[in-house]
Amino acid sequence: MVQWAGLVAPGATVLDIAAGGGRHTLLFAGRGHRVTVVDRDISKLPTRDDVESVAADLEDGSPWPLSNRRFGAAIVANYLHRPLFPALFDALEPGGVLLYETFMAGNERFGKPSNPDFLLKDGELLELVRGRFSVIAYEARLISEPKMAMVQRIAARRL
């Protein structure tokens, strides 16, 4: 996220999905962005004027909680719920940046997640953005920090 944060236009509002404790929320807020966070548990998130926290379970079948809102960037780390992709992509304004990183097939060798439902297939992020985004960077690789894992990462701009 740090490497590609500069792709996000100054003043753009950032959508952070499944933010956990808010590490990336704080990164983007610290860069001067207003950040809207959507997570099931918002109790661990920082309370700041430039952070809007929306408590929502994105996996229970409820409607997308931010209908008719558009963002200059969307960031997702270590989270995969495939039914969310259409709403996530639609939430980005034209020219908006998608920064997405999560685990992929092969990660089961290193621990959790190991369930295929929570692991991207080889090249899956590329296929999902094809025709909708311009890919700036893509990786599918083994990482060793913070722990050994197989991940896919993409930085892409919505057409």
Report the amino acid identity of residue 32.
Answer: G
Q: What is the pLDDT of residue 7?
A: 97
Q: What is the pLDDT of residue 72?
A: 98
Written as six digits, the tokens of 139 are: 């990786």
Q: What is the pLDDT of residue 91?
A: 97
Structural domain spans, the chain: 5-158
C-beta separation of 75 from 27 below 8 A: no
Question: Under CATH, what is the fold of the domain 5-158?
Answer: Rossmann fold (3.40.50)
Mean pLDDT by 10 residues, the chain (159 residues): 96 96 96 97 93 96 94 98 97 98 97 96 98 98 95 98
CB proximity list for 92: less than 8 A, separation 6 or greater: 15, 70, 71, 72, 73, 74, 98, 158
Q: What is the pLDDT of residue 89?
A: 98
> What pTM was estimated for this model as a whole?
0.96
Q: What is the pLDDT of residue 46?
A: 85
Report the amino acid identity of residue 134.
Answer: S
